Amino acid sequence: MSEVVIETEGLSKDFGPTHALQGLDLTVRAGDVFGFIGPNGAGKSTTMRILMDVLRPTSGTVRVLGTDPRTGGGRLRARIGYLPGELALDGRSEVGSWLDYQARLHGAAPGAWRPYAERLGLDPGRRIGKLSRGNKQKVGLARAFAHSPELLVLDEPTGGLDPLMQQEFLVMVREARAAGQTIFLSSHILSELEHVAETVGVLRQGRLVTSAPLTELRDRLGTTVTVETEHPLDPAPVGRLEGVEEVHADGTVLTVDLHGSPDALLKHLAAHHVVHLRAEAPDLETSVLRLYHDDEEADR
């Protein structure tokens, strides 16, 4: 079993009467790309700030790279590339000089940030205060990646980036994963996470709804099979087949929610003239929306 890089147990954080995190148990293993999903206010940024010791938990335990962030200090932070959701930069500095300063703090080689700045289209001579939001985000990304950290903690990393730079960022994540780095990132752009995340944690109102490999999450939610036949089919026998959860009929078109093997469904369809058949696994966004719906139903 691979090494645990991030581990929280019973992690809670209160801001007065507001419970931002409620008993969060989270495990991220070495070399994983872990997508942390949830709406605004779910507790994603709070969790990341606790990992970086920007915030202290109300209760529970947390370990990052085997160390309690409250005692790890600069030595621990030097092993992490962090992009906060609210990026604070020195607006008076030039991009290059600020990144050089950050590189020294993290023990990176001089100019280690330059390849990332070039890929992201950053001008090192520009003053930070005059940059757009998207270009400031690129500065933060160049800083996070430059020293090849063991762990990348990235809070909404594509915020403000145009589609081309979003794609470049995903390439950077894949390269980091191939180099053995661990990436823990949050995003509202679920279609992006779908291309890079191996494990997904779904957060709702400070609680972890689920944490599972993306493939397992999809399998758990099944497959949608759309079948068009020459003549209308009776949906009742289809609904009794093994693995079929729901059936919706609309004329000659059947929509089937299928869990498990399609064998029984295919054998049943073999006796009919099938005009068209399409099987689709739910995308990440659909999967998360279903999980939220199920969790809300369980709360009632």
CATH number of the structural domain spanning residue 200: 3.40.50.300
Query: Domain ends where: 189, 213, 237?
Result: 213
Query: Domain ends where: 213, 234, 255?
Result: 213
CA–CA separation, 177 and 253 (whole Å): 43
CA–CA separation, 119 and 53 (whole Å): 30
pLDDT for 110 equals 82
Residues 163 and 245 in one domain: no
Cβ contacts of 189 within 8 Å, gap of 6 or more? 158, 166
Among 207, 137, 206, 202, CA closest to 172: 137
pLDDT for 192 equals 73
Residues 200 and 231 in one domain: no
pLDDT for 212 equals 86
**Token pair of 86 as six digits:** 């609210």
pLDDT for 42 equals 87
Residues 144 and 250 in one domain: no
Residues 98 and 203 in one domain: yes
pLDDT for 210 equals 86
> Would 290 be classed as within a structural domain?
no
pLDDT for 152 equals 98
> Would 135 be classed as within a structural domain?
yes
Domain range enclosing 187: 4-213
> Would 107 be classed as within a structural domain?
yes
pLDDT for 298 equals 57
Average pLDDT over the chain, rounded to whole?
A: 90
Query: Domain ends where: 213, 237, 262?
Result: 213
Residues 183 and 228 in one domain: no
User: Looking at the predicted structure, is the pLDDT value of residue 291 above 70?
Assistant: no
User: Looking at the predicted structure, is the pLDDT value of residue 62 above 60?
Assistant: yes
Residues 203 and 68 in one domain: yes
> Would 218 be classed as within a structural domain?
no
> Would 18 be classed as within a structural domain?
yes
Predicted confidence (pLDDT) per residue in 232-262, tens digit: 999 999 999 998 988 999 999 999 988 878 9
pTM of the predicted model, to two decimals?
Answer: 0.81
Radius of gyration of the chain (CA): 23
CATH number of the structural domain spanning residue 239: 3.30.70.2470
> Any bridge partners for residue 277, and if so which?
227
Question: Domain count of the chain?
Answer: 2
Residues 209 and 237 in one domain: no
User: Looking at the predicted structure, is the pLDDT value of residue 1 above 60?
Assistant: no
pLDDT for 289 equals 67
Residues 92 and 237 in one domain: no
